[in-house]
Structure 1
Amino acid sequence: MGPLITFLGRGGPTLMGIPIQATVSQVFSNGSWSIAPPRSENSLRLAIYLASITLSDSEDEALWQVAGKEATQFSSTEVWKSVCHPFVSVYWANLIWHKHHIPKFAFTTWLVNLDRCPTRNRMISSGLHVDPRCLLCQGSEETRDHIFFSCPYSSGIIAGSLGKLIQIPARLSWNDLIASTQIILSRICKS
């Protein structure tokens, strides 16, 4: 029935002789309810419901019910598990979220990996009216893969900074890069 003040209306508890701040033990004593005779349909429903309840004299105890299981102690972990969907493990998680990651860089890499960075093609798909051409080269549509692998301007910067460390194939996508990095790291970890 919910809170009595909502079920019976503002004056309902007073009309039933129940003080606003009353506890159950103050209204139930010596095996019976001390309430005034019902004066409305809802107060009659409440009186019938109360007559069907059997109360015990034992001490109250807090019980928590999470996902259909009762517990005597509250656990935020169990509540979190019950409201969150189970996560799906992805093969690239260890590349981004490892114990030596720098949070700002890991977060940015995670966004790029999910193709959620604010490229112009994503802005257009969100309904913004912007020029779809790459801001750096003005040659092609600005996408994640274009910025990292096809844009002559950014490719020159990447080749200059990483050229001596790794050989970047001419036709590479972000997904290819993640898969290649995963293979390289698994070989390093085995040796």
Structure 2
Amino acid sequence: MGPLIDYMGTSGPRALRIELTATVSEAVRGSLWNLPAPRSDEAMNLHVFLTTINVPSSEASPDFFSWTVDGDKLQTFSSSKTWSIVRERQPIRSWHKMVWFKGHIPKHAFTMWVSVLDRLPTRNRLASWGMLTPISCCLCSSSDKSRDHIFAECDFTKELWRRMQAKLSGTTTTFDSWPQLLAWCSQNVSKSQRALRNIAVQSIIYNIWAERNDMIFNNKVLTQLERFKLVDKNVRNIISARKTRKEFKHLMVLWLV
């Protein structure tokens, strides 16, 4: 029946002659239910139901809490099961493995995640919010600074991708669009290659955004070679810190070849 206040209505406490905050023990006297004769269909249904269960007694067994999660009664509270029920579920995204993978760097993964969602405060987004800001790219000054431009179409960025591709596959292929970059990351390759791609891509995304911030807020500019040296250092440090993990065992060789 659910909570009695919902089933009996606001007049329930008066009809059953028990307080709104009463406990079960206050509705019991000895071995009998201490309730008045029913005067409504709801009260009659309650009386009928109570005849099917034993009258609670402290002498029978001690009380205990029972958590019901998705139809399962638990003797102890499970935060993980409760969270899985109360949280709002969303379909699994096709890009989740290139953002959240074993061994990712939290700040790199977060920047990648926000980038995939196109939530970074790029100049075109700031302008769309009514802020008076130039919309040209601060890295190349040749186009509107959008997510797709700064991470795929900008000349500064293309050089970083070219250097990364040269280290990973020996080719100098660059990405002409953001979807093309995501498609390359999701290609069906070995686990080691996929892990190295994800590490390198996230490091470049993070460093591109760091370059943008340094240029705007710190008036600090690095060349493409200097910025890629930071990417290279990031990748090496990430691999070295996880060299004992099976999936990271041969990554340094792949990156240095």
TM range (shorter): 0.5 to 0.7
Which of residues 179, 182, 198 is equivalent to 1:178?
A: 182
Alpha-carbon offset, residue 147 of structure 1: 1.0
1:146 maps to a residue whose letter is: H
Specify the alignment match of 2:129 in structure 1.
Answer: 128
Runs (5+) with no aligned partner, structure 2: 167-171, 195-249, 251-257
Alpha-carbon offset, residue 25 of structure 1: 1.8
Quick one: structure 1 residues 32 and 2, their matched pair in 2 at CA, closer, same or farther if it must change by over 3 Å?
closer
Is this contact kept in 2: 1:133–1:142, CA < 8 A?
yes
Specify the alignment match of 1:166 in structure 2.
Answer: 165
Is this contact kept in 2: 1:63–1:70, CA < 8 A?
no
RMSD, aligned CA: 4.0
1:143 maps to a residue whose letter is: S
Quick one: structure 1 residues 51 and 110, their matched pair in 2 at CA, closer, same or farther if it must change by over 3 Å?
same
Is this contact kept in 2: 1:120–1:133, CA < 8 A?
yes
Alpha-carbon distance between aligned partners in 1 of 2:184 and 2:134, rounded to the nearest angstrom? 29
Is this contact kept in 1: 2:67–2:73, CA < 8 A?
yes
Specify the alignment match of 1:150 in structure 2.
Answer: 153
Indicate whether 1:98 and 2:106 are aligned.
no
Give the structure-1-normalised TM-score. Answer: 0.63
Which of residues 36, 45, 51 is equivalent to 2:47?
A: 51
Aligned residues: 175
Alpha-carbon distance between aligned partners in 1 of 2:80 and 2:181, rounded to the nearest angstrom? 36
Alpha-carbon offset, residue 104 of structure 1: 0.7
Alpha-carbon distance between aligned partners in 1 of 2:33 and 2:175, rounded to the nearest angstrom? 82
Alpha-carbon distance between aligned partners in 2 of 1:104 and 1:86, rounded to the nearest angstrom? 23
Is this contact kept in 2: 1:133–1:139, CA < 8 A?
no
Specify the alignment match of 2:233 in structure 1.
Answer: none
Is this contact kept in 2: 1:149–1:173, CA < 8 A?
yes
Matched-pair identity in %: 30
- Give a deviation string over 1:82-130, Cα, whole Å, max 9, x none: 334264252x433332222110111101111232222233345xx5124
Which of residues 115, 129, 140 is equivalent to 1:112?
A: 115
Alpha-carbon distance between aligned partners in 2 of 1:178 and 1:16, rounded to the nearest angstrom? 64
Alpha-carbon distance between aligned partners in 2 of 1:93 and 1:34, rounded to the nearest angstrom? 57
Higher relative contact order (CA closer than 8 Å, sequence separation 6+) = 2
Which of residues 44, 56, 70 is equivalent to 2:72?
A: 70
Is this contact kept in 1: 2:122–2:145, CA < 8 A?
yes
Alpha-carbon distance between aligned partners in 2 of 1:70 and 1:178, rounded to the nearest angstrom? 41
Is this contact kept in 2: 1:132–1:142, CA < 8 A?
no
Specify the alignment match of 1:141 in structure 2.
Answer: 144
Larger helix fraction of residues = 2
Quick one: structure 1 residues 185 and 119, their matched pair in 2 at CA, closer, same or farther if it must change by over 3 Å?
farther
Specify the alignment match of 1:31 in structure 2.
Answer: 32
2:54 maps to a residue whose letter is: S
Quick one: structure 1 residues 48 and 166, their matched pair in 2 at CA, closer, same or farther if it must change by over 3 Å?
same
Alpha-carbon offset, residue 78 of structure 1: 2.7
- Give a deviation string over 1:54-78, Cα, whole Å, max 9, x none: 34135455443333x2323343333
